[in-house]
Chains A and B, each alone.
Chain A
Amino acid sequence: MKAVEFKNISKSFGNCIANEDISFGIEKNSVHCILGENGAGKSTLMKMLFGIYKPDNGVIRVFDKEVSFTSPHDAIDVKIGMVHQHFMLIDDFTVLENVILGNELTKGIKIDFRETKKLLNELIDKYNLGLNTDKKISEISISEQQKVEILKLLFRDSEILIFDEPTAVLSPIEVKEFFKIIDEFKSNGKTIILITHKLNEVKEISDKVSVLRRGKLVYEQVNDRKLDIETLSRTIVGEAALITLIKSEEKEHLKDNDEEVLSLKNIHYVRNKVKVLDELNLQLRKGEIHGICGVEGNGQNEIVDIITGLQKDYTGEVLKKVKKISLVPDDRIKKGMIKEFTIGENIFLKDEEKNIITKSALQKISQKIKDDYDVRLGDINSSLSSLSGGNQQKVIVAREIELDNAVLIFSHPTRGVDINATLFIHSKIIDERNKGKSILLISSDLDELVSLSDRLSVLDNGKIVKTFEPGELNVPDKSEISLEMDIETSKPLYEQIGKLMIGITQ
């Protein structure tokens, strides 16, 4: 039986065709992955399934019944649930309050908190979510917040669960945990739809894959555990040849290189009586890419804030050999850009020289960045909000690189960014290193870290627990692009790093 069936679905916004004649089915009790670049039409399709948009043409069937949603409310009624990329949680509410919002169990006129709590704890135990229902959202980590979203769906008894890039914000260990939860769902008869960019994950967890490109369904494959990643990636990006990213091999000079451009010594930082950074020592040497991996929320953002001077309430020493540092922040929408501004205006924000700026000068900047960084947009006068995530990220990367600072910090530079943009950003990072710039790379994507870093530090509980020196990161065939990296051969290293990240030292 099909849980969902799309028949000849089309949807366009103005002149832009988001979905064109898409037909495919999603089997009940399966894990179905939907792949595609940013702007390929995945989200649009899912938003139609969740009642946010209405299709222009075509039919959606849910459990063999034709449906026509006018709002998410209708979708929820037929037991469809969705976890959005940006969580829809109220920070000042507790886990419990967030979960029941809109579906409150009542006893007379009062909310029956005791019964609700019992129910929720049963669900938490059943699916191993490990949540405390009394904690406020503002007190829990991103991965826990995601679990709250999941709990919401379970509480509403959803049968079809849609996840929009669920692993983008998770560390490798958390991804494993997440997959276990998904498996548990499957064994409980639920249907799971995953939107994702990460091909390795698709290979691991999906039963079936559908690939969208430019609004059309271009590829469908049942995953018989032999799903070929190369074929997949080619269908995703289309004819555009994959850029081969070869990391230059002249790394020998880095081994004895001890010219430090940035150094953090014995940094302590306490927030709300919780030690966030604990005797942290970190050195960035000239001309290296220094990767930092760790489970989200172990002090990564605080390190960035302290280095850039946004956070001053710490003890310890920060030695900077440079005055200015470029920063590509972890959350582009919140921290990286003014989405109401055009490219030129966003670049101009960091300009120190000009006091008055004309429209034509702004257009010139926009055009230059558009050409040099392959930013895809129709009208250079349009604001960044009309760009896809990957293109927005390119603009931010462009701005920071164009400043020509000797030290650059990249925090999750390719989170939620499609394959082409990811490769482009990676090649830019390597270019900068080859120019002698020093780069601090913070990420939760191990592939990215291992393939780019010269030196890699593992962060756990606000402390660097191990640093892999140049040469220690030798994964066979490292010159290959990260996408095609052989999972088998890199396994031991990954396992070692993974263990360090959760505090297991051999």
Chain B
Amino acid sequence: MSIKTKINLISVSLSLAVTLVIVSLLLLFINQNPAEIFTIIFNEVFTSGYGIGQTLFKATPLIICGCGLAICFHASLFNIGAEGQLNAGSFIIAIVALKFSFLPFPLLLLLCIVCGFIVSGIFGLIPAYIKVKKGVNEVITTIMFNFIILALVNYFLLEFFAVKATMRTEKIAETDMLFKLSDYIPFFNGSSLNAAFLIAILVSILTYVLIYKTKFGYRLRAVGFNETASRYIGLKTDKIILIAFFLGAGITSLVGINFVFGYKGFYELGFSNNVGFTAIAVALLAKNNPIGVIFSSLLFAVLDYGGLSVNQLVPKEIMLVVQGIIILAILSIDRLVNNYYEMKN
């Protein structure tokens, strides 16, 4: 294990420990017994196949989205627009799935993936283009694009595609749905966990290879570390930034595959439940390592699903507080651990 991985592991575990302490205090403050709460969560999440399945299911969109963001973050591009990007793609996925339902399933799925990817990608490309050409900070443009995209999707959905009196599209054919893992592995006992989870794992592995093993990945990271140097070294930094944003945003559209093809069978307004923002925290916690993203997604999924189980005892806002504390802890403790190692050396 290299020193760097060691430092990362230490700082992540320390952060989690600190979070645990703070949350316990918080629970005590609202007159709950932390041990009891944690036990309930643990039992709910880990003692049944259904619980584990649901947790993995909750982790799926986070893994996908976290990997997309990791690509952007490696280039030091702070993409805050995943929420909008993934909604654009998911909406298109549902529409294409409905309009081309005559196609055989594998072909239809492929078409949807490609269309979703391109649409989400383009919505990532626009802010990147504005940044490259005019130097406008991507944080501002991506935030603004969240509003624009959600408003547009809202309009088109309600005006042209929504089932009457609902906020969703029609359902795609049952035969076009992805298989549930519980169909093959009875252990998961009817949970919503579906083949999209496997896609998410594949995305994570591919992203890892892209970032750490390919030429493009090296160049991407070089741009992230030092854009000026990269330009002088002769890299086409503008092109790299555009591609990174296209890929990163494009990947987020796969969240729609999980929801449309794997879960409900339709696109529904607000389905994403802020995954695009939570994924920022997921990627940060994983230090933008796509494999790490799997684990940080799992943690957030445990909080999410476990939070439901203690809903009657603890307001669900507490779980949001926990997520926030984890981020703050990781950011500050990371510095401390790094400084400590520098001192030692």
Contacts and interface: CB of A to CB of B under 8 A. Distances in A.
Same complex for A and B? Answer: yes
Interface in A321-337: 327, 329, 333-337
Given A310-B232, A337-B229, A339-B226, A14 B213 contact: no
A14 B344 contact: yes
Contacts of A341: 218, 221-222, 225
Contacts of B232: 308, 310, 327, 329, 335-336
B241 to A, nearest CB: 16
A351 B215 CA distance: 8
Contacts of B233: 336-337, 349-350
A340 B220 CA distance: 13
A265 to B, nearest CB: 24
B247 to A, nearest CB: 15
B215 A338 contact: no
B228 interface: yes
Interface-centre pick from A333, A335, A350, A355 (highest chain B CB count, 10 A): A335
Interface string A3-41: 000000000011000000000000000000000000000
Contacts of B213: 356-358
Interface string B196-237: 000000000000000001111011011001101111111100
B345 A338 contact: no
A387 to B, nearest CB: 14
B229 A334 contact: yes
A301 B221 CA distance: 26
B1 to A, nearest CB: 13
A349 B344 contact: no
A355 B219 CA distance: 11
A356 B214 contact: yes
Interface residues of B, number: 21
A114 interface: no
B214 A338 contact: no
Nearest to A304: B232
B337 to A, nearest CB: 16
A335 B226 CA distance: 8
A345 B2 CA distance: 17
B236 to A, nearest CB: 11
A56 to B, nearest CB: 12
A193 B216 CA distance: 47
Given A14-B344, A355-B214, A356-B215, A336 B229 contact: yes
A340 B229 CA distance: 12
A350 B234 contact: yes
B345 A357 contact: no
Nearest to B226: A338
Contacts, number: 63
A334 B226 contact: yes
A337 B227 CA distance: 10
B340 to A, nearest CB: 13
Given A345-B218, A355-B214, A356-B214, A338 B344 contact: no
A354 B232 CA distance: 20
Contact of A357 (B218, B225, B226, B228): B218
A310 B232 CA distance: 8
A424 interface: no
A334 B215 contact: no
Interface-centre pick from B215, B219, B229 (highest chain A CB count, 10 A): B229
A348 interface: yes
A382 to B, nearest CB: 9
Interface-centre pick from A310, A327, A340, A349 (highest chain B CB count, 10 A): A349
Contacts of A350: 233-234
A60 B123 CA distance: 61
A335 B233 CA distance: 7
A188 to B, nearest CB: 39
Contacts of A358: 213
B231 A338 contact: no
Contacts of B235: 349
A335 B214 contact: no
Interface string B1-20: 01000000000000000000
A308 B344 CA distance: 43
A334 B230 CA distance: 9
A358 B213 CA distance: 7
A52 to B, nearest CB: 13
B150 to A, nearest CB: 36
B225 A339 contact: yes
A157 B228 CA distance: 37
Interface in B217-265: 218-219, 221-222, 225-226, 228-235
Contacts of B345: 13-14
B36 to A, nearest CB: 46
A335 to B, nearest CB: 4
Nearest to A354: B215
A461 to B, nearest CB: 25
A349 B233 CA distance: 8
A349 B218 contact: yes
Nearest to A329: B232
Contacts of A329: 232
B215 A340 contact: no
B255 to A, nearest CB: 28
B234 A338 contact: no
Contacts of A381: 2
A338 B217 CA distance: 14
Contacts of B229: 333-338
A349 B219 contact: yes
Interface-centre pick from B226, B228, B232, B234 (highest chain A CB count, 10 A): B232
Contacts of A327: 232, 234
A335 B228 contact: yes
Nearest to A351: B215
Contacts of A335: 228-229, 231-232
Contact of B231 (A310, A345, A356, A357): A310
Contact of A338 (B2, B216, B225): B225
Interface string A348-376: 11110011111000000000000000000
A337 B229 CA distance: 6
Contacts of B225: 338-341
A340 B218 CA distance: 11
Nearest to A381: B2
A308 B231 CA distance: 10
16 contacts: A14-B344, A14-B345, A308-B234, A310-B231, A333-B229, A334-B228, A335-B231, A338-B222, A341-B218, A348-B218, A349-B230, A350-B234, A354-B215, A356-B214, A357-B214, A357-B215
> What 8 A-B pairs have minimum CB-CB distances, sorted nearest first?
A335-B232, A14-B345, A338-B222, A338-B225, A329-B232, A340-B225, A355-B215, A335-B229
Given A341-B218, A351-B215, 13 more contacts: A14-B344, A14-B345, A329-B232, A335-B229, A337-B229, A339-B225, A340-B225, A345-B218, A349-B222, A349-B233, A355-B214, A356-B213, A357-B213
Interface of A: 13-14, 308, 310, 327, 329, 333-341, 345, 348-351, 354-358, 381
Interface of B: 2, 213-216, 218-219, 221-222, 225-226, 228-235, 344-345
